[in-house]
Amino acid sequence: MLIEIGIDEFISKKPEFNLLIDARSPKEFAESHIAQSQNFYALNDAQHQEVGTLYKQISRNDAKALGAQYICQNVALHIQEIYKNYKIGSKIGIYCAKGGLRSSSIALILSNIGYQVYRLIGGYKSYRFFAISYLENLPHKNFIVLGGNTGCGKSELLQDLPNAIDLEKMANHLGSTFGSIKGEQPNQKEFQNRLVEIFSTTDVNAYIFIEGESVRMGKVMLPSKLHDAMKESFRVEITAPLSQRVERILKDYYAITPDFFYSSMETITPYIKKSSKEEAIIAYEKGDLASVAEILLVDYYDVVYKKPKRVDRVIENDEHTQTIEVLKALHVSFKSCAYDSASD
């Protein structure tokens, strides 16, 4: 069975798919893709480039013939893995760049074997239009925003809270000069896709715990609709003893390389006292990372932290479990108020 469906139906059926196939090249897939998809490519990177060049510069028919040869070779290998892991009759969603030859070729073969195949009309391009539109008109407006100085434990709290979205984890960035310590970030397209995936599967009316962030997180940007909604939401300022804050960020600082450290210190030069910068560098070269962390927290992070004009509640996070219970109780009270308002 092979059915071609539009983006709205494709999104609604996505949870039913036993397998979601991205038929584009590995390079295209690595750049960005629909969440949960697996890359069973019709053409690998070199083949995709070769066929594309042939199509544009010499002959469309020659390009199609060559592409068909490569697709048959690749699908022969992919079928072994698909058949091994997904029984005949499984539901498979599939897409390529624009809903063309790559996805249709694989879809036809899989459907003839006996799989239920749903091919996305317009391919990944149509999904990107959907994603951008979704974020520009984000329906979620109920947020409980956690703010606070670096190291106060907001990320850890989000891991243990219901209805929580961890933007820093999705962006793979800590939202500061040293934020890229986690490694390579997703590009803007992939970050948007991750946002769409989690928001589209979260109740529109639910109250969502989220960390207060700037519009820019490293090299990615938050959607303006989301950022505006966060600014208008209930704000909880999290505080914590300095000793605990130092302990928390040390977990990340142990992974700092000398190049990363010195480069970051140069970046923050305009925002930190010369004496504090020199003191931090001396401590780093002695291997005293705890002192480095404390200096940076007190003389840099706390100095540049922009506390919001409105804070609705302050919670001291000196005991994680207790803080979680306080925040959960707050969440319950918001849900109750929302239910009462809906009942009136």
DSSP 270-326: GGS-HHHHHHHHHHHHTT-HHHHHHHHIIIIIHHH----S--SEEEE-SSHHHHHHH
Last residue of a domain, which of 113, 133, 153? 133
Q: Are the C-beta atoms of 149 and 302 separated by less than 8 Å?
A: yes
Tell whether 216 and 289 lie within a shared domain.
yes
Tell me what pLDDT residue 343 has. 45
pLDDT for position 9? 97
What is the rounded distance in angstroms from the CA atom of residue 64 to the CA atom of residue 253? 52
- Same domain flag for 149 and 282: yes
Do 92 and 17 share a domain, yes or no?
Answer: yes
Q: Say whether both 180 and 288 belong to one domain.
A: yes
What pLDDT does 337 receive?
Answer: 66
CATH for 309: 3.40.50
Q: Are 281 and 204 in contact (CB under 8 A)?
A: no
Per DSSP, what are the bridge partners of residue 21? 38, 94
**Which pLDDT tens digits describe the chain residue by residue (344 residues)?**
999 999 999 999 999 999 999 999 999 999 999 999 999 999 999 999 988 898 888 888 888 888 889 999 999 999 999 999 999 999 999 999 998 889 999 999 999 999 999 999 999 999 999 999 999 999 999 999 999 999 999 999 999 999 999 999 999 987 777 767 777 899 999 999 999 999 999 999 999 999 999 999 989 999 999 999 999 999 999 999 999 999 999 987 887 889 999 999 999 999 999 999 999 999 999 999 999 999 999 999 999 998 888 999 999 999 999 999 999 999 998 877 654 444 44
| Domain match, 128 and 144 both | no
Residue 119, SS3?
strand
Sign of CA dihedral 119, 121, 125, 127: negative
Please count the CA atoms within 13 angstroms of the CA of 244 that sit on its side-chain side.
14
For position 339, what pLDDT does the model report?
A: 46
The predicted pLDDT at position 174 comes to: 78
pLDDT of residue 255: 78
State pTM to two decimals.
Answer: 0.89
Q: Select from 252, 281, 254, 256 the least CA-distant residue to 266.
A: 281
Number of separate domains in the chain: 2
Domain span at residue 52 reads 2-133
- Residue where a domain terminates, one of 112, 133, 154: 133
3-state secondary structure of 59: coil
- Respond yes or no: is residue 96 known to be catalytic: yes
Q: Classify 102 as helix, strand or coil.
A: helix
Give yes or no: residues 268 and 298 share one domain: yes
Q: 111 with 170, same domain?
A: no
pLDDT value of residue 59: 85
Residues 215 and 243 in one domain: yes
Q: Coil, strand, or helix at residue 94?
A: strand
**SS3 for 6?**
coil
